Amino acid sequence: MNEDLFARGLAKGSQTKVINVGRGVAASAGKSLSEVLGVDKPFLVVADEHTWKAAGAAVCRSLQEYGQVAEPMIYPGYPALYASYDHCEEIKARLAKTGATGVAVGSGTINDLVKLASGELGQPYGVVGTAASMDGYSGFGAPMGVGGVKVTLPCPAPAVVVFDYDVAAAAPRSMTASGFGDLSAKLPGGADWILADAVGVEPIDPLAWELVQSGVQEALSQPAALAAGDPDAYEGLVNGLLLSGLSMQVYEGTRPASGAEHYFSHLWELDHLGADLEPPLSHGFKVAIGTLAMTAFYERFLERDFSALDIEAAVRAWPSWEELEADIRSKMDGPLAEKGVKETAEKYVGAEGLRARLGSVAGNWPALAKRLRAQLLPFAELQERLGLAGAPTKPEDIGLSALDVKATFPKAMYYRSRYTVLDLAREAGWFDSLVDEVFEGSYWA
């Protein structure tokens, strides 16, 4: 099933040509890398001390069977390499000097650095993944620190991705747990897309949906085996993460892979949460708490009967844009407030639009509620699985209080123009009471 999915995604996606996954594939990585990237230039392997041991040396040996290999760039293993533009320029300079094609051997940071360096030189590159830590391997764009702020710079996805389940199974447990957290986001993130589709804001793209969603439930079903490093359990997680990245290529946007849960993570990242830890707090760990928060929100949302909503009362209570803008500015400061105002304006509708949105959900509620319930895992179940995988299960695990998470809810709603359940709840007049319920009950006890 996955082979067929990969093939269909690759045929539709514009950037990645080949995804080579399986047990033991790192030792023969040279074959697919050379087939896709060609052999008229040498290969430059970029790794750090850990990923060099995990797969880099084997990848170099394999590449030597097919073409020239420049002296590899191996960064220190400690402290953890940071995705800063300075490092990108170093790699770019080495690629230019050696006239080589880049091969990243590593996870998030090394991949992002080689991706951006290659993209800026206008040349393709390949990546050999070493940990099932996030879904960015097969995605485009690179989050990068530039002059002290984090921005996502545009650059194409890798032309070829090689991922060996045995290498992923031997990676540090916390990295796998991070990938498990990132993949769990596809549950509430998918639910947000179902709602955006239902109100006519952003229709579901069937192929992008199938790529990202078809294997997620199964991929999240073996947290203990993943934590125990059983290579057979890694197929689902690795493929799920790669298919998620591929779905973003197919859709040419991040909607298939992220909803409101990711905005919690982005907002905490803007606050530098855990940035001073060694290694820094991972994307997937922040996303795990955002995912739990959104799962709790959905659980309470689904306890209410939307078909019984008094739509005319909701329309009467609907704030004018000026009132809404004042609320955004009361919850966010500085440049974030400006962003929030701009993004929220894009999804704001007047009374007529609101009536239509609420009517389309209310009129279709039983079927919609059933679909949302099937999309989500119960909070308690998800929390247990995250714990078994070694991921955070409560705000304190990532250095936050429940109140910090609570205060993030309105910001997550205003942060992006993307329509989520937070918007629908606000439009129904339920937002504040639902957020209260998420923190009054037993969720975070």
Give the interface with Zn ion as residue ranges (CB under 5 A). 182
Residues contacting residue 217 through CB under 8 Å, at least 6 positions apart:
377
* Residue whose pair of structure tokens reads 């008094």 in the numeric block: 310
Residues contacting residue 233 through CB under 8 Å, at least 6 positions apart:
169, 222, 225, 226
**110 vs 362, which CB is nearer to Zn ion?**
110
**309 vs 405, which CB is nearer to Zn ion?**
405
Token code pair at residue 390: 């070694």
Token code pair at residue 27: 């030792």
Q: How far is the CB of 19 from Zn ion (least distance, A)?
A: 18
**182 vs 427, which CB is nearer to Zn ion?**
182
Q: How far is the CB of 183 from Zn ion (least distance, A)?
A: 9
Amino acid identity, residue 24?
G
Nearest-angstrom CA–CA distance, 328 and 322:
10
Residue count of the chain: 445
Q: How far is the CB of 141 from Zn ion (least distance, A)?
A: 12
**22 vs 279, which CB is nearer to Zn ion?**
279
Q: Which residues of 23-36 are buried (b: 16+ CB within 10 A; e: fewer)?
A: eebbebbbebbbeb
Token code pair at residue 99: 């006239």
Q: How far is the CB of 362 from Zn ion (least distance, A)?
A: 32
The H-or-E segment that residue 142 falls in is: strand 142-146
**112 vs 182, which CB is nearer to Zn ion?**
182
**185 vs 377, which CB is nearer to Zn ion?**
185
Q: How far is the CB of 154 from Zn ion (least distance, A)?
A: 17
Q: Which residues of 75-110 are buried (b: 16+ CB within 10 A; e: fewer)?
A: beeeeebebbbebbebbbebbeebebbbbbbbbbbb
Q: How far is the CB of 41 from Zn ion (least distance, A)?
A: 32
Q: How far is the CB of 213 from Zn ion (least distance, A)?
A: 15
Q: Which residue is nearest to Zn ion (CB)?
A: 182
Write phi, then psi, for 282 (nearest 5 degrees): -80, 160
**94 vs 262, which CB is nearer to Zn ion?**
262
Nearest-angstrom CA–CA distance, 383 and 372:
18
The H-or-E segment that residue 153 falls in is: strand 149-153
**182 vs 437, which CB is nearer to Zn ion?**
182
Q: How far is the CB of 153 from Zn ion (least distance, A)?
A: 17
**182 vs 423, which CB is nearer to Zn ion?**
182
Count Cβ atoms within 10 A of the Cβ of residue 191 and give its class: 0-12 exposed, 13-18 middle, 19 or more buried.
Answer: buried
**182 vs 325, which CB is nearer to Zn ion?**
182
The H-or-E segment that residue 184 falls in is: helix 173-184
The distance between the two most distant Cα atoms of the chain, rounded to a whole number of Å, is: 72
Q: How far is the CB of 284 from Zn ion (least distance, A)?
A: 7
Parallel, antiparallel or unpaired: strands 149-153 and 142-146: antiparallel
Q: How far is the CB of 136 from Zn ion (least distance, A)?
A: 7
Q: CA quadruple 217, 221, 226, 227: dihedral positive or negative?
A: positive
